[in-house]
């Protein structure tokens, strides 16, 4: 493709108006040139012979009349082995590499190759001469961390290709040719272990998209039992400032049963990002005992970076997620926070002087949010394997008001809603997911009757509590008071979970079923108490015993002992409901 040039005619913050000759495309990358610096930008709108470019860096120093060089390529990421364990910014600059060379403050116009071009990877071929392949087919594999990273036929290559030759097993860099393919017209093409893909275009080199059904186990009880996430599904975590969105995502990134986790930290406070960069590599994967970072990619943009870079980070993260899904893996993408991304959209839209919609967000806010979550999914690959990309996004609505446009647009498209509550966070009832307002369309790992019964108790308990606040405890009947105590018991021993306790932090689905069955039994039981004080004392003791139980590993002797203690305490406190 021809490369075109342009001249800057206007500068408004990060938005350039550029007059160009020839042809340019929407989302094409251009570089604004000044004093030997090349500032990366993207075309976000074309009008006649003028293109509007958002610059991914500070535009200070740039002047009207400066030249712009277009690349003919859309904003892309480099795909290949070596992505895992990296911390990138939204444009896939490797931050750890940059920090090593420049410290934490990056100079302008510095661009790095995203992948190590020197490193040799041990390649094993998976096809042979004469095989017919198409985009997304696995040509070979290399070991990356503890995964088999598939070397695939680049996704942009259309039609069928015949393998002319494929390299023997051996060590190669990502730029070495590993295969020679012949297309339908007879032309040959060399394949290396890396290629680029435009971030705003979903990767669809698979046979079929399937309905997400199977639960994705997060080991957070309130999620897995009451508001489950599906493998390949979508969910959102709206929550007011400081309600625990980031901590909840960190817990999930640690314990969720997936192969790969991609964290898009877009627009959070810089300090938080630095903390993540420091802390995360120290954590170990509870399953493999290896560094968690080995199966993680972090895309970090802080609110101090230009808005355009923030916007790109969501797309970059999604593309990396889709890429690993193509290898047959289960990937979880956590975006924190999508509100910052939406704010970036609003800023850009404002500069383009577009007609604003609700709360000055652009009219296309809803469709952008929908398009983002639609990139999640359970797919059947050409190999017949199933693989998934699950997307969970936090939303930080101003003032915790869920009626605002970003939360509302998100709720329309996601499969589960984990609404965080200010009251629960203040009362330190963590994770602060509201058990009354939240919902999920996915199937739980716990039998439906248990869940319905337990939820009904939460609603009833809430009602009694509301009533008690008006008429006081004295005015409440003993019967109602016991309902309240039971609901509080369920809340404290099951909905709340201690993220800092080794055992309690992650509850397996087996354990969830087992424990909830016990709780069900207690909720059903008709206790007989002479007065409210005795009832309160009893539930207080039961709660303490249960919380101690939560801290004991399920396979331990102590677990069984504690269970016996609990059973003994309950027994003789009244009649079981018939049939229990």
Ligand X SMILES: Nc1ncnc2c1ncn2[C@@H]1O[C@H](COP(=O)(O)OP(=O)(O)OP(=O)(O)O)[C@@H](O)[C@H]1O
> Of 352 and 499, which has the nearer Cβ to ligand X?
499
Q: Among residues 222 and 482, whose Cβ is nearest to ligand X?
A: 222
340 binds, among ligand X, Mg ion, none (CB under 5 to 8 A by kind): none
Q: For residue 301, state whether it binds Mg ion (rule: CB under 5 A).
A: no
Binds ligand X by CB under 6 A, chosen from 91, 142, 243, 344? 243
Asked if residues 261 and 324 have their Cβ atoms less than 8 Å apart, the reply is no
Instruction: Report the residue number, 152 or 248, with the smaller CB distance to Mg ion.
Output: 248
Task: Find the distance separating the first CA and the last CA of the chain, reported in whole Å.
Answer: 74
Q: Which two tokens stand for residue 395?
A: 């939303």
Of 126-134, 138-146, 244-252, 557-565: span binding ligand X (CB under 6 A): 244-252
Q: How far apart are CA 397 and CA 504, in angstroms?
A: 30
Give the long-range contacts of residues 473-478, CB within 8 A, separation 24 or more: 473/532, 478/529, 478/531, 478/532, 478/535
Nearer to ligand X, 431 or 461 (CB): 431
Which of 67, 99, 370, 499 touches ligand X by CB under 6 A? 499
CB of 430 to ligand X, least distance (A): 3
CB 95 within 8 A of CB 113: no
Task: Find the part of the chain contacting ligand X (CB under 6 A) among 149-157, 239-247, 283-291, 512-520.
Answer: 239-247
Segment lying near Mg ion (by CB under 5 A), choices 53-61, 167-175, 237-245, 338-346: 237-245
Task: Assess 246 for contact with ligand X (CB under 6 A).
Answer: yes
Q: Which two tokens stand for residue 304?
A: 């101090």
Q: How many CB atoms lie within 10 A of CB 61?
A: 11
Instruction: Tell whether residue 104 is a contact of ligand X (CB under 6 A).
Output: no
CB of 499 to ligand X, least distance (A): 4
Which CB atom, from 76 or from 246, has the smaller least distance to ligand X?
A: 246
Tell whether residue 245 is a contact of ligand X (CB under 6 A): yes
Q: Minimum CB separation from ligand X for residue 236, in Å?
A: 13
Q: Indicate whether 512 belongs to the interface with Mg ion (CB under 5 A).
A: no
CB 286: neighbour CB atoms within 10 A? 13
Using a 10 angstrom Cβ sphere, with 0-12 exposed, 13-18 middle and 19 or more buried, the burial of residue 462 is middle
Question: Tokens representing 246?
Answer: 């980031």
- Interface stretch with ligand X, choices 59-67, 149-157, 241-249, 462-470 (CB under 6 A): 241-249
Rounded Cα gap, residues 411 and 393, in angstroms: 11
Look at residue 242 and give the partner it binds from ligand X, Mg ion, none, a contact being a CB closer than 5 to 8 Å depending on partner kind: ligand X
Q: Measured from the CB atom, is 468 or 503 closer to ligand X? A: 503
Site string for ligand X, 429-468 (x = CB under 6 A): -xx-------------------------------------
Residues within window 372-431 making contact with ligand X, judged by CB under 6 A: 396, 430-431
Question: Residue 255 touches which of Mg ion, ligand X, none (CB < 5 to 8 A by kind)?
Answer: none
The window from 36-44, 191-199, 243-251, 259-267 that contacts Mg ion (CB under 5 A) reads: 243-251
Residue 387's CB is within 10 A of a number of other CB atoms, namely: 23
Closest distance to ligand X from the beta carbon of 244 (Å): 3
Where would I find the H helices in 201-337? Answer: 221, 245-255, 270-279, 307-325
**Applying CB under 5 A, does 246 fall inside the site for Mg ion?**
yes
| Residue 241 binds to ligand X (criterion: CB under 6 A) | yes
Q: Which does 430 bind (CB under 5 to 8 A by kind): ligand X, Mg ion, none?
A: ligand X
Cα distance between residue 458 and residue 444, in whole Å: 18
Sign of CA dihedral 233, 239, 241, 247: negative
Q: How many CB atoms lie within 10 A of CB 42?
A: 23
Nearer to Mg ion, 246 or 410 (CB): 246
Closest CB to Mg ion among 425 and 483?
425
Q: Is 239 in the site for ligand X (CB under 6 A)?
A: yes
Tell me how far apart the alpha carbons of residues 184 and 27 are, in angstroms, rounded to a whole number.
Answer: 30
Find which of Mg ion, ligand X, none residue 33 binds, CB within 5 to 8 Å per kind.
none
Using CB under 6 A, which residues numbered 287 to 306 contact ligand X?
none
Sort residue 201 into left (φ over 0), alpha (ψ -120 to 50) or beta: beta
Rg (CA), the chain: 27
Query: CA 244, CA 237: separation in Å to the nearest integer?
Result: 10
Please list the residues that pair with 52 across neighbouring strands: 17, 45
- Does residue 242 belong to the site contacting ligand X (CB under 6 A)? yes
Rounded Cα distance, 198 and 36, in Å: 26
Q: Which of 73, 17, 71 is nearest to 48 (CA)?
A: 17
Q: Which is nearer to ligand X, 46 or 499 (CB)?
A: 499
Q: How many CB atoms lie within 10 A of CB 5?
A: 16
Residue 94: name its binding partner from ligand X, Mg ion, none (Cβ under 5 to 8 Å by kind).
none
CB closer to ligand X out of 142 and 237: 237
Q: Which is nearer to Mg ion, 135 or 301 (CB)?
A: 301
Sequence-distant (6+) residues with CB within 8 A of 391 are: 234, 235, 318, 321, 333, 335, 372, 373, 375, 376
CA nearest to 414, candidates 403, 424, 406:
406
503 forms part of the interface with ligand X (CB under 6 A):
no
β-strand pairing of 234-238 with 416-417: parallel
x-marked contacts with ligand X along 247-276 as a string, rule CB under 6 A: x-----------------------------
Q: Does 253 bind Mg ion (CB under 5 A)?
A: no
Which of Mg ion, ligand X, none is residue 72 near (CB under 5 to 8 Å by kind)? Answer: none
Q: Which is nearer to ligand X, 243 or 523 (CB)?
A: 243
Nearer to ligand X, 271 or 384 (CB): 271
Instruction: Give the binding site for ligand X (CB under 6 A).
Output: 239, 241-247, 396, 430-431, 499
Residues in the site for Mg ion, rule: CB under 5 A? 245-246
């Amino acid at each position: 493709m021809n490369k075109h040039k342009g001249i800057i005619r206007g500068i408004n913050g990060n938005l350039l108006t550029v007059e160009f000759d020839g042809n340019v495309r929407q989302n094409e990358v251009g570089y604004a040139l000044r004093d030997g610096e090349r500032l990366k930008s993207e075309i976000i709108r074309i009008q006649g012979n003028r293109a509007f470019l958002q610059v991914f860096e500070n535009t200070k120093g740039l002047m009207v009349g400066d030249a712009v060089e277009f690349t003919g390529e859309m904003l892309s990421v480099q795909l290949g082995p070596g992505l895992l364990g990296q911390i990138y910014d939204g444009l896939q600059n490797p931050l750890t590499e940059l920090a090593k060379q420049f410290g934490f403050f990056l100079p302008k116009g510095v661009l790095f190759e995203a992948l190590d071009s020197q490193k040799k990877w041990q390649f094993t071929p998976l096809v042979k001469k004469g095989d017919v392949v198409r985009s997304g087919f696995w040509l070979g594999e290399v070991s990356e961390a503890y995964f088999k990273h598939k070397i695939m036929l680049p996704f942009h290559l259309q039609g069928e290709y015949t393998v002319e030759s494929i390299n023997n097993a051996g060590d190669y860099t990502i730029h070495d040719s590993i295969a020679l393919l012949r297309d339908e017209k007879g032309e040959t093409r060399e394949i290396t272990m890396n290629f680029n893909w435009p971030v705003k275009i979903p990767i669809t080199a698979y046979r079929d998209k399937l309905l997400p059904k199977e639960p994705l186990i997060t080991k957070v009880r309130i999620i897995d039992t009451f508001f489950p996430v599906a493998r390949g599904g979508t969910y959102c975590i709206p929550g007011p400032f400081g309600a625990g969105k980031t901590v909840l995502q960190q817990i999930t990134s640690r314990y969720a049963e997936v192969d790969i986790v991609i964290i898009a930290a877009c627009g959070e406070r810089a300090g938080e990002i630095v903390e993540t960069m420091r802390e995360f590599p120290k954590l170990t994967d509870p399953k493999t005992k290896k560094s968690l970072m080995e199966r993680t990619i972090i895309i970090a943009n802080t609110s101090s970076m230009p808005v355009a870079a923030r916007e790109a980070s969501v797309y970059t993260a999604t593309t990396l997620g889709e890429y690993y899904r193509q290898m047959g893996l289960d990937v979880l993408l956590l975006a924190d926070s999508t509100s910052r991304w939406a704010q970036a959209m609003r800023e850009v839209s404002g500069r383009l002087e577009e007609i604003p919609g609700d709360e000055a967000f652009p009219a296309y806010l809803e469709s952008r949010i929908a398009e983002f979550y639609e990139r999640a999914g359970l797919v059947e690959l050409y190999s017949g394997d199933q693989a998934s990309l699950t997307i969970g996004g936090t939303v930080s609505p101003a003032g915790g008001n869920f009626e605002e446009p970003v939360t509302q647009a998100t709720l329309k498209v996601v499969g589960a809603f984990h609404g965080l509550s200010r009251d629960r966070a203040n009362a330190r009832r963590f994770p602060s997911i509201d058990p009354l307002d939240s919902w999920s369309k996915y199937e739980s790992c716990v039998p439906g009757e248990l869940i319905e019964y337990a939820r009904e108790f939460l609603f009833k308990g809430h009602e009694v509590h509301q009533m008690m606040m008006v008429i006081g405890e004295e005015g409440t009947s003993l019967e109602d008071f016991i309902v309240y105590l039971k609901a509080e018991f369920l809340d404290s021993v099951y909905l709340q979970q201690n993220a800092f306790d080794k055992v309690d932090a992650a509850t397996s689905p087996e354990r969830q079923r087992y424990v909830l069955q016990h709780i069900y039994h207690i909720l059903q039981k008709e206790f007989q108490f002479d007065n409210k004080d005795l009832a309160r004392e009893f539930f207080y003791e039961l709660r303490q015993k249960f919380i101690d139980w939560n801290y004991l590993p399920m396979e331990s002797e102590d677990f069984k002992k504690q269970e016996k203690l609990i059973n003994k305490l309950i027994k003789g406190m009244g009649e079981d409901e018939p049939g229990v």
